Each structure stands twice: as C-alpha cells, then as structure tokens.
Chains A and B, each alone.
Chain A
Amino acid sequence: MLTRVLKFRGAITSFLCAVWLAALLAPGLASAQASASASAASAPAKPITDADLKSVAGPTADALAKGDPGGTLTGSANDVVVSDPKKGLTLSDLVNMVGQNRIAINFVWTLITGYLVMFMQAGFAAVETGLCRAKNANHTMMMNFMVYGFGLFAYWVMGFAIQQGGCAPIANLGGLSPLNSEFTVHFLAGKPWGLFGEKGFFLSGSTYDVGIMVMFLFQMVFMDTATTIVTGAAAERWKFAAFAVSTFFLGAITYPLFGNWAWGGGWLSQLGVNYGLGHGYCDFAGSGVVHAVGGMTALAVSMIIGPRIGKYTRSGKPNPMPGHDITMVLIGCFILAFGWFGFNPGSTLGASGAGNLRIGSIAVNTMLAGCTGSFGAVLYMWIRFGKPDASMSANGLLAGLVAITAPSGFVNTVGAAIIGFVAGLLVCLSVEFVERIMKVDDPVGAISVHGTCGLWGVLSVGLFADGTSNFGGSWNGVNGSVTGLFYGDPRQLVAQLIGCATLVGIIFTLSYLFNLLVDVVVGQRVSAQSELEGLDLPEMGALGYPEFQLVTPGTGRSIEIAAD
C-alpha cells in the first residue's frame, strides 16, 4: 500500500516538475523564436540581381514537346520577354513584364466589358421595338441600328476629345499621357473650372496611342447608350432625318460636355478638391453621365415633337397604346441586364491593382439592384392594378440597373438592394406622372427609366456610399473613400445635388435649344398621314413585317401588302 502511495506521489511530483519546467522554458522558447524571426526580419534583404535569374530555368524543349495536359509546364520563365537575348533574362525584363501584364489585364478587361456594353444596343433595339406598334417596327429598329453609326462618327470626330481630352493621368490604362489639355476658366472664388478637353480630335497626332484606343472604345459605347435612350421616347413620330442630326449633336457636344465635367477632370469632378464637397461629383458608371443625359434629351425632344396622334383625348385623358411584342421586350431586357455587367464592373477601367478587385462587389450590386428594381415595380403594379404588368416589370429591372450605375462602386449590397427597390417604385410613379400630369408621350418609358432613375442613382451616391471603396486610395483627387450622408459625410450629397441641378438646368436646356433649332431647320415630326399609316413605308421604304396585315387598333386603318 505504502509502495503504491509512494509511486503515486512520485508520479504527481514528476508531472508537476514537467509542468514547472515547461512554464519556465516556454517564455524562453517563445522569446527565442520571436527574436529569431525579428532578427530575420531586421536582417537586410538580399537584393535580387540579374545573376540570380540565371539559375531560373523553364521546362526544357523536350518536356514541352510531349505536351502539357496538366497545365503545369505552360507559362514559365521561358515566356518572359527578354530585351536582349545575349544577356538572357534580366531583372529589368522581369519588372517590365510585371508592369505590362498589369496593363494588359486592364486592357483586356476594359475591352471585353466594352464589347458587352456594345451588345446592349441589341437589347435597346429589342425593348424599344417591342414596345412600339408593329407598323413602326422597321423605323424604330433602324433608329436603334443607325444610332450606333451616327453616334460613333460624331464621337470620333470631336466628342471624345471634348470629353476626355484633358483626363490624364489614368494609371489603370498606362497613363493616357497625351490626353493632357483641358480648357479651363476661373470661377467662384477663383477656382479652376475645367469645361472641355482639347486633345484627341479624330484620334490623331499624339493621341494615336494604344491606351487611348482602349479608352475611346469603352467611352464610345457608353455614349451610344445615351443616344439610344432618346429614340425610345421619340419613337413612332420622329422624322429620321431629324433623328440623325439630333443624334450627331448629342454624340458630339451634349454628352461629351457632361462627360468631361464628371469624368474628364472637369469642374463637377473637382468640387471636392476646390470646395471640399466630399470627393466632388461621383458617378461611377454613369447614372448621370449616360442615363440622365439621355433622359433629359429624351424629355426635351418629346416635348418639342408632342404626343402621338390618339395618345390623348380632347380632355387630356391618356389612351393606352400597347407595344406589339412583349416577348421581344423581355428578351431585350435580359440582354441589357447581361450588358450591364460590362457597364458597371468595366467602369473600373481595370481588374489589376488600385482597388480594382472590387469588380466582384460591383457586379453583385448590379445584379441585386436589377432584381429589387423589378421586384419593386411588380409589387407596385400588382397592388395598384391587380396584375404583375410585364412591361413595367421590365422597366423596373432597367430602373434598378440605371439607379445602381452611379453608386455601384461605392455601396454595399444592402445599399444596392434598397437603391434598386426604390428605383422600381419610382419608375412606376414617374411613368404615371409623365403620362398623366405632364402629358408628355413616351412610348417606352425612357424618360422615367433613364431620366428619373438616373437622377435617383446620382443622389443615392450621396446617401449610401459606405466609405469602403479604395480605388488607388483616392477618387477625383481627394484622399480616402467616397462616403455618403448615411455614413457620415453630408457634403458628398451637396456635390451630387449640384450634379443633378446641372443635368436639369444646363444639359436639358442645351438639348432643348439644339433640338428646337433642328425642328425649325429640318422639322422634327413626320406628317400626320405618315404617322397614321406607320413610319415603316413613308420613312424607311419597307415594312418591318411585310407578310402580315397590320391593323391600327381603334382607327380601323390597315396596311395590306399584296403578295407578288
């Protein structure tokens, strides 16, 4: 018994000794490890030299000749471009390759997202044509088709220079150094106000530059989106010649001017630097620059040309004029929603460096706002009219996407969902207001979707920007992240309000005056006879649906095409 007690005591003593030793040694071991790692950290790093790179070898030609099904051999030191084959791989080659790879990633990203935005033209064409009557199908489709050519040409001649001629430096695309001349005046406390760019006309001279070409393509498809908004609002009664002239002006002057003020280093973007208003006017992907500019122009043109014959009774009551193909409308909406993944995430102008990995967040915000926008519109229509109206659901989706375009880079997912939902409700209210109160005829709801919700998107930056974005550490030359009213910066909202006032007060007025001039010189509206028969034959010379008999509801008038 005594032996067992002694053995037990011995075991306890051994255990306690072990614990004591461990407690005694552990700090020493920990400090030894810490000092070891500290000495490693404090030791001067050995600089890599060209000599070190001599030992770096890629897979042999024999190994590569056998193929690389696992993908472990392809892409190695062999693929780094060397400036002098005699010297072999040098540190300079390596660093240059890293830099070029970053710019290459950003070029490819910006170009591919630009191609997606270009494809949105197809979506707009489908939506607008589907929402118009069959007798105007060719005319509406052709306006959407030719807007691409007219707008592009105007933008190449002068629009791009006015917008981006003084925008350098844009580090994501390699600097764009030749775009370095901005016409500036001094105004309000003697601060510089950039009004328009002066370099890049015809993309000639020093602007014949690889980075500038990427920038041009991306900005051009954005401009085309703005011009195609007007064709929807003015559809079914717009003279094709007037449309051509009006589109040229929008692509050459109106759009580029606001684009310069917001994105090209102009006065709106400098409200933060000059007057301490947050980060200046912030419009990440163009709720204001693209959509509200298009919406304001659409309103101006719609006012000037007046409503379609039969849209309003003598007492001013609106008559419904349903579109001819709701399937085309909804397919067009899906195309637009797909293209929006180019519109918003592509507006980082890069995927590598400078906080550009936020592209995932921007894409999710875009998706969410479109979803909640559609949901808001469906809910409104269902409660108010008893049915989940398809065309307004489509407009709700677009409204959410339009609204999230400006804040997509600055807000979190909760903010995006709220912004989209509000836009979905707002577009329904706005369509009713424009149709019933203003009595402005807008066959596709473009003024509400792009104008009203574009302005809402601009304002929402000043409310919901959560202060977590970091696009290279600053935005519009102001350090830190864009932060809205709900996250502590009320002055950002002031900048956004000035942007909205500019869109309504200056851009609308400019568009209105020019289109008034077009009305006087060219004439904006087709004849009453052409309008009643449909614009396909009188304006375009061919019907959109030649094998069908088209009857205009309510009038009993029909267009019959005899078989040859």
Chain B
Amino acid sequence: MKIAGLIMAMLGWLIAVMSVKVPGAGGELAVALAGFLVALVGVVGLLNGAYLKNAIWKG
C-alpha cells in the first residue's frame, strides 16, 4: 500500500508534465490539475492511509 502511494504520487507528476503535449490552454490546465490531484491522493490517501492502519495509538 505504501509503495502504491508512492507510485501514484510519481504518476501524478508524470500526468502533470504530460499536460505540455495537450492542445489548448483549457486542456493543459485540466490535465495539469488532474496530475496534481493524483499526486496528492497518492500521498494523503494511499500512503498515509497505510500508516493509519498500523498507527501506534491503536495498539
């Protein structure tokens, strides 16, 4: 799960970078925003979620 979070974070970066190949400013904006959000979900959702499953305060 932690690895999936990191991969998703880097995938988000790649999506954002690929926005330069999208025609039109609106398309670029949408893809770059999507990439940023995917990266955030990878870190905040998946990676942090994995830590919460075994949080020390649960023990």
Partner among A188, A439, A494, A509 whose Cβ is within 8 Å of the Cβ of B55: A439
A 474-520 contacts with B by CB, 8 A: 490-491, 493-494, 497-498, 500-502, 504-506, 508-509, 512-513
Cα of A500 to Cα of B57 in the assembled complex, Å: 32
CB contacts (< 8 Å) of B15 on chain A: these are 501
The answer to whether A494 touches B6, judged by C-beta atoms less than 8 angstroms apart, is no
| Cα of A440 to Cα of B18 in the assembled complex, Å | 32
Question: Assuming A311-B57, A504-B39, A504-B40, is B12 touching A498 (CB within 8 A)?
Answer: no
Q: From B10, B11, B48, give the contact of A438 (CB < 8 A).
A: B48
Instruction: Give bound CA distance, A512 to B42, whole Å.
Output: 13
A87 lies within 8 A of chain B by Cβ = no
CB of A383 within 8 Å of the partner chain: no
Contacts A189-B21, A505-B16 given; indicate if A498 touches B57 (C-beta within 8 A): no
The bracket for how many chain B residues form the interface is: 35 or more
Nearest A residue to B22 via CB reads A494
Stretch of A113-121, A221-229, A312-320 lying at the B interface = A312-320
- Stretch from A157-165, A299-307, A396-404 that touches the partner: A299-307
Interface residues of B (CB under 8 A from A): 6, 9-21, 25-26, 28-29, 32-33, 35-36, 39-40, 42-44, 47-48, 51-52, 55-58
Q: Is A548 an interface residue (CB 8 A)?
A: no
Instruction: Given A307-B57, A497-B29, verify A504-B12 contact (CB < 8 Å).
Output: yes
Residues of B within 8 A of A188 (CB): 17-18, 20-21
- A507 → B minimal CB distance (Å): 9
Nearest to B16 among chain A residues (CB) is A501
Given the complex of chains A and B, what is the CA–CA distance between A353 and B44 in angstroms?
A: 45
**Could you give, for residues 415-454 of chain A, a 1 whenever the CB lies within 8 Å of some chain B CB and a 0 otherwise?**
0000000000000000000000011100000000000000
Given known A-B contacts A306-B56, A311-B57, A505 and B9 have beta carbons under 8 A apart: yes
Pairs A–B under 8 Å by Cβ, sample size 17: A303-B51, A306-B51, A306-B55, A311-B57, A312-B57, A440-B48, A490-B29, A494-B20, A497-B16, A497-B32, A498-B17, A498-B32, A501-B12, A504-B36, A505-B9, A505-B16, A506-B10
- Interface residues in A178-233 by Cβ distance below 8 A to B read 188-189
Per the CB 8 Å criterion, the residue count for chain A at the interface is 35
A385 to chain B, nearest CB (A): 24
A307, A312, A506, A513 — which one has the most chain B CB atoms within 10 A of its CB? A506
Q: How far is the CB of A357 from chain B (nearest CB, A)?
A: 32
Given A313-B57, A314-B58, A494 contacting B25 (CB threshold 8 A): yes
Q: Beyond the given A306-B55, A307-B56, A494-B29, please list 20 additional residue pairs across the A-B interface where CB-CB is below 8 A.
A: A188-B21, A277-B28, A303-B47, A306-B51, A316-B58, A438-B48, A438-B52, A440-B48, A490-B28, A493-B32, A494-B25, A497-B19, A501-B12, A501-B35, A502-B13, A504-B36, A504-B43, A506-B10, A506-B13, A509-B6
Instruction: Give CA–CA (A500, B42) in the complex, Å.
Output: 14
Q: How far is the CB of B32 from chain A (nearest CB, A)?
A: 4
CB contacts (< 8 Å) of A494 on chain B: these are 19-20, 25, 28-29, 32
Is residue A173 within 8 Å, beta carbon to beta carbon, of the partner chain?
Answer: no
Is B48 in contact with A271, judged by CB distance below 8 angstroms? no
- In the bound complex, residues from chain B placing their C-beta under 8 Å from that of A316 are 55, 57-58
Q: Are A504 and B51 within 8 A (Cβ)?
A: no
CB distance from A43 to the nearest CB of B (A): 51
Does A275 interact with chain B (Cβ within 8 Å)? yes
Kindly report which residue of chain B lies nearest to residue A433, judged by CB atoms.
B44
The answer to whether residues A512 and B6 also contact, given A500-B36, A504-B40 and a CB cut-off of 8 A, is yes
Q: Which of A277, A490, A493, A500 has the most CB of B within 10 A?
A: A500
Q: How far is the CB of A406 from chain B (nearest CB, A)?
A: 15
Are A504 and B13 interface neighbours, CB within 8 A? yes
Chain B contacts for A491, CB-based, 8 A: 25, 28
Supposing A438-B48, A501-B35, A504-B12 touch, asked if A271 and B20 sit within 8 A by C-beta, the answer is: yes
Rounded to whole Å, the gap between the CB of B11 and the closest CB of chain A is 8
B42 to chain A, nearest CB (A): 7
- Cα A11 to Cα B24 in complex, Å, equals 77
Q: B30 → chain A, closest Cβ, in Å?
A: 10
**What chain B residues lie within 8 Å of A440 (beta carbons)?**
48
Cα–Cα distance between A512 and B3 once the two chains are bound (Å): 11
Complex Cα distance A504/B44, Å?
10
Q: Nearest A residue to B20 by beta-carbon distance?
A: A275
Complex Cα distance A509/B46, Å?
Answer: 13
